[in-house]
Amino acid sequence: MYEWDVFISHASEDTNEVAVPLANELRRRGIRVWIDARELEIGDKLREKVGEGLTRSRFGVVVITPRSAAKTWPRDELNALLALEEDGVKRVLPVWHDIDRAGAAAAFPLIADRLAGSTSAGIEALAVTIARIVLDPKHSSPASTVSSPGRRLVAQFERDPSGPAVRDFLQSEERIIRAAFGPVDSIVWSPAIGPHSADLAIAEHWVSASRMIWSVVILGRADSPLSDGVTIDADIDVLAARLEAIRKWMAGNLAEARNVLDEVETGFQGMVIAGRRPPPGSSVAAVLRDYNDMQMDVRVRTYDWLVDAAFKMEVSPGGRS
């Protein structure tokens, strides 16, 4: 039984350009990815941790670049992966970046004929190819066999990405919300706040200040484009405006609001969750960042925030669940 679907072996120089973007693209497809840049924490012994990644992952994606070809460490990881293939089950998925076949064959002769994909058509296209292999039921990877909350959440996006449908799913998987928000003392689903409504509200009780710190959340579509690369999507702006309307109504009707949300304050944190995480450095990511920078007490997050929390919850048995 594997804990992760994919372990990504890469040279540290390729972390930001290839490994992390590829991991993000795989994760948004519901694949559990182990990558040293994300999972290694202070105090972990590197060799033990990597060994753990290799033995607990169904597939090892080896990123072959001119940098990794010159490195001993990724070669060690590759040899370990190949050793695990002794039972004849395919485990190694080499991917190529910034290197031609001849160069890769010279550096890694054992896997020269096992090309799984390359980044030439973009990271997203490569992720689609890898995801197809990983999610194939015959390969028995965790994502294809285990009905985990994170995988079910991603499947929900594919089945019905509308806000109400995702809310209903999350209500049935409340532990995802608890994992994402951290300490949670109260959750109210679909609160009617005067003439307004939200999808959920989450509170943490600050004991030292005797205050309930509320986040009021509106869920948008999971397939929202978020932005056209120039301005924020109009639907996102409408959802953010709904939160401001709630705040304004609450200012004049605090007692009534508190009948629904215990000791809520007008300065609550508003949150819109919509769309999927744009590639770092993309124009959509830049628009989203600038939009968030201008918002007061409202933050737009992508659903990948919840997906990450769901998978982290699965991977960390000691975590909140």
Partner 1 sequence: MIDEDWLKSLRFESLQGVQVTGLVATGSTHVVLDALTPEGEHVVLKTYRHALGFHIKEIPPFITAKKEYDVGRVNEKLRRLIGRDDLDDMTAEYDRLYSSITRLVQEIGVPGAVLRSAMQGLLDDEMLFLLKTPGMRRRLQHWATMREEARDSTDLILIVNGPNFPMTIPRVQLIAWARKTLREIEELPPPANLAPESLTSNPLYVWGAAVMDGFFTDDELPAVADYIEQHFGRLPARDDIFPLLNQCTAIAELMTFYLKESEVARFVKLCAACGLHFQPRSRPHVEDAEDTSDDDDGNESDASPSRPSGTSWWQRMRRRWSGS
Q: Where does this chain bind partner 1 (CB under 8 A)?
A: 205-211, 213, 248, 251, 254-255, 258, 262-263, 265-269, 293-294, 296-297, 299
Nearer to partner 1, 171 or 269 (CB): 269
Nearer to partner 1, 37 or 110 (CB): 37
Nearer to partner 1, 120 or 259 (CB): 259
The answer to whether 39 and 319 have CB atoms below 8 angstroms apart is no
Cα–Cα distance between 69 and 28 in angstroms, integer?
29
CB 296, min distance to partner 1, A = 6
Nearer to partner 1, 154 or 213 (CB): 213
Q: Where are the alpha helices (DSSP H) in the chain?
A: 20-27, 36-39, 46-55, 66-69, 72-83, 101-107, 123-134, 142-145, 149-159, 163-172, 174-181, 234-252, 254-260, 283-294, 304-315
Nearer to partner 1, 151 or 277 (CB): 277
CB 214, min distance to partner 1, A = 9
The answer to whether 5 and 59 have CB atoms below 8 angstroms apart is yes
The question of whether 77 is a catalytic residue gets the answer: yes
CB 244, min distance to partner 1, A = 9
- The identity of residue 189, as a single letter, is W
Burial of 224 (0-12, 13-18, 19+ CB in 10 A): buried
- CA of 88: how far to CAs of 83, 84, 85, 175, 242, in Å? 10, 9, 5, 38, 56
Q: What is the DSSP letter of 261?
A: S
197: helix, strand or coil: strand
158: number of Cβ within 10 Å = 11
- The identity of residue 252, as a single letter, is G
CB 266, min distance to partner 1, A = 6
CB 190, min distance to partner 1, A = 22
Nearer to partner 1, 49 or 299 (CB): 299
The answer to whether 103 and 70 have CB atoms below 8 angstroms apart is no
Cα–Cα distance between 62 and 112 in angstroms, integer?
12
The contacts of residue 35 (CB under 8 Å, 6+ apart) are 7, 8, 10, 19, 20, 23
Residue of 25, 77, 173, 314 marked catalytic = 77
CB 187, min distance to partner 1, A = 17
Residues noted as catalytic: 77
